Amino acid sequence: MAGMKPSDERNFYAGDLYGELSLSEMEQPQGHEPRSPRRFLPGLVLVAVTSLAAAWLSDHYGMPMILMGLLLGLALSFAAGEEVTHPGLDIVAREGLRIGIVLLGFQITFGQIAAVGLGAFGLLLAIMAATFAAGLAGARMWGQSRYAGILAGGATAICGASASLALYAVIGRERLDQAQFAMNLVAVALASAFAMAVYPVIAAQVGLDDRAAGFLIGASIHDVAQAIGGGYSFSDSAGREATIVKLARVTLLAPAVLLVSLWIGRAGEGGARATPLRRLALPWFIVGFLALVALNSAVAFPADFAPGALSVSKGLLLLAVTATALRSRTDLMRTLGWRAFMPVACATLASFSLSIAFAMLLVGDSS
């Protein structure tokens, strides 16, 4: 960039986890062979150890794994002050995210989406649209940028952390700094953990049956694992319903990313000034996700294949979230204050309010 010293330019791009220009490419002199892959090792070791610790704590204390990865990554972010860790952390945050999202396609078939039913799917679309709008309204109301509102509304409406990561790939660091992105991830993870514990209890208290409770939980809890866990904590039947409804929301990740890209333009492509054709182009990992949904719908894989693919996907997303947290500037996060949480809070409230209202309509229909 004009007027920047080489060291400043390197620092500017060091935190851009999702841009096309990587730090390693910038530092590589022309006419030289690429440096040894060993340069990734320090960062890979750091994120692997932190993620394993997060997984252990999640398994032993019942906390959501993504939340533990976020919190541990933020607590240990001082370790990423060493530049030697940056290449490894950046490649995990970027490629781990993308491959993890692609593998989510093995969890969904078009038949599962059809099983939701046309009426329930219409209600689901209404909930998601209102949730997205509430995220934007909350951002405006509490003095946050519209990009923070897009991230909060999209993550809450679709599938939590993975939607946050996918949407941030479109928004880009130049429009929403990484500290705000990390705050969004923390807020979404906390809201999802709270919802998993509380929503099944509320569903029981208001007298929802299994189908309605499954719809409420699947339509309103952000992260996939928490939505499924919350459904099965109510009943097995509610768990199956919650799983189908939640996976239907996940399928809408690709259309949501496309719509956001059409609205604001993709990062690095001129924003809203980009040509319509360029703005129509989906990121490759969203195309891959859709391709695997189609493949999973057409091919009967062994029964243990989908759980295995889910485990790999969750592991990669954990690594990506942990690496993002490790590379976050906690000093900048502290300056954002409580207002940075409000777009997610507004979107969460809208999602729950509409979901429980529509769930009670389902009870009325079944009676």
349 domain-assigned: yes
What's the whole-number mean pLDDT along residues 267-281? 50
Q: Rounded to an integer, what distance in angstroms lies between the CA atom of residue 324 and that of residue 71?
A: 11
Look at the alpha carbons of 353, 242, 283, 333 in this order and tell me if their dihedral is positive or negative: positive
Confidence category of residue 366, pLDDT binned at 50, 70, 90: low
What's the whole-number mean pLDDT along residues 180-199? 83
More confident residue, 2 or 112: 112
24 domain-assigned: no
What's the whole-number mean pLDDT along residues 254-259? 86
Q: Quote the DSSP letter at residue 92.
A: I
Domain count of the fold of the chain? 1
Q: Rounded to an integer, what distance in angstroms lies between the CA atom of residue 16 and that of residue 28?
A: 17
What's the whole-number mean pLDDT along residues 44-52? 94
306 domain-assigned: yes
Predicted confidence (pLDDT) per residue in 131-182, tens digit:
999 999 999 998 888 999 999 999 999 888 778 888 888 888 888 887 788 8
Q: Which of 188, 91, 172 is nearest to 131 (CA)?
A: 188
What's the whole-number mean pLDDT along residues 9-14? 39
Distances (CA, A) of 271 to 97, 133, 262, 263, 342: 22, 21, 9, 9, 25
| Tally of CB atoms within 10 A around 259 | 13
* Mean pLDDT value across the chain: 79
Entry pTM = 0.65
Confidence category of residue 348, pLDDT binned at 50, 70, 90: very high
Dihedral angle of Cα 115, 119, 120, 122, to the nearest 10 degrees:
110
pLDDT at 52: 94
Angle between helical axes of 65-75 and 178-205 (0-180°, round to 10): 150
| Tally of CB atoms within 10 A around 365 | 11
Q: Rounded to an integer, what distance in angstroms lies between the CA atom of residue 213 and that of residue 239?
A: 9
What's the whole-number mean pLDDT along residues 30-55? 81
34 domain-assigned: no
130 domain-assigned: yes
pLDDT at 332: 60
pLDDT at 335: 67
194 domain-assigned: yes
Owning domain of residue 164? 39-329+340-366
21 domain-assigned: no
